[in-house]
């Protein structure tokens, strides 16, 4: 689907909101290794770009930074997923092995389809492919996941309230169980977060932001519209406690909302 400039702009704004929520409520955790770095004294985006072999402009856009000179010590910077070209690599081969779209691989790197790779060349990796059949949400799926209730949860397993720094619910389940959206809205964040697996955030028309953690596999991307019962991902094994669980948080205007009181539908 081709996005209009207005649609792209709205997605960027939604991303900024999601990032703000992440920084406020999850700042005491860090992303996986080689995904996030913290600015230290003497760091510049140019220095970081040289070290990680990505352009300064990419770092600016990827992190929503408007002024490269405004970096403060302690700020976290995300590094895009990259691949280093090895002997015998081709664009088709990399796309196949990394399970990404060949067309998107060319687009994000500004390559022609006949681009000849160079040994040691650093290329960006787009989002993983998503099978269309995994994105389809049938009436049967919605009915099963909502359990004939107007007030349902991302998973119907046993719930344990989280009363520490994060206010939310842990929902116990089995590896491979579906995690579903409880509301309509737009996906504004999909990324790994240490201790929470793949974290998905959805903003509804009333500006509630629903955060769904514990995903091992995700079926949505930023900009997708979802509905009550849409399968967002599949539950994985928690890296800390070594069991399968989902995490569910809700925010409104930057403040946590009790999940059991958050609107559905």
Cα–Cα distance measured from residue 156 to residue 168, given in angstroms and rounded to the nearest whole number = 15
Average pLDDT over residues 191-198: 85
Residue 26 — very low, low, confident or very high, per pLDDT cuts 50/70/90?
Answer: very low
Structural domains in the chain? 82-124 (3.10.350.10), 132-261 (2.70.70.10)
In what helix (H) or strand (E) does residue 180 lie, and over which residues does it extend?
strand 178-180
Mean pLDDT of all residues in the chain? 76
What is the per-residue pLDDT across 32-86, written as a single tens digit (0 to 9) for each? 233 578 888 888 888 888 887 777 777 776 677 777 777 788 888 877 777 888 9
Task: Note the pLDDT tens digit of each residue in 222-236.
Answer: 888 888 888 999 999
Closest CA to 83 of 53, 40, 104: 53
CB distance 157 to 177 below 8 Å: yes
CB 59 within 8 A of CB 216: no
DSSP notation for 66-128: S-GGG--TT-EEE---EEE--TT--HHHHHHHHTB-HHHHHHHHT--TTPPP-TT-EEE--PB
Give the tokens for residue 127.
């989002």
d(CA 69, CA 90): 38
């Amino acid at each position: 689907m081709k996005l209009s400039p207005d649609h792209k702009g709205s997605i960027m704004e939604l991303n900024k909101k999601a990032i703000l929520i992440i920084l406020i409520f999850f700042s005491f955790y860090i992303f996986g290794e080689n995904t996030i770095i913290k600015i230290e004294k003497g760091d510049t985006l140019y220095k970081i770009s040289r070290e990680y072999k990505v352009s300064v402009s990419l770092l600016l856009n990827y992190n929503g930074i408007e002024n490269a000179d405004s970096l403060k010590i302690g700020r976290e910077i995300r590094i895009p997923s990259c691949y280093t070209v090895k002997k015998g690599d081709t664009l088709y081969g990399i796309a196949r092995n990394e399970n990404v779209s060949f067309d998107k691989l060319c687009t994000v790197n500004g390559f022609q389809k006949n681009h000849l790779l160079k040994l040691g060349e650093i290329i960006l990796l787009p989002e993983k492919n998503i099978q269309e059949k995994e994105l389809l949400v049938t009436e049967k799926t919605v009915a099963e996941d909502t359990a004939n209730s107007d007030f349902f949860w991302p998973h119907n397993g046993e719930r344990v309230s989280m009363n520490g720094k994060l206010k939310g619910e842990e929902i116990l389940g089995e590896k491979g169980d579906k995690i579903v959206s409880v509301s309509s809205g737009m996906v504004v964040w999909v990324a790994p977060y240490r201790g929470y697996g793949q974290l998905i955030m959805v903003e509804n028309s009333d500006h509630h932001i629903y955060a769904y953690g514990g995903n091992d596999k995700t079926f949505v991307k930023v900009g997708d519209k979802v509905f009550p019962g849409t399968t967002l991902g599949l539950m994985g094994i928690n890296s800390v406690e070594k069991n399968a669980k989902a995490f569910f948080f809700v925010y409104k205007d930057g403040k946590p909302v009790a999940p059991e009181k958050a609107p559905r539908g």
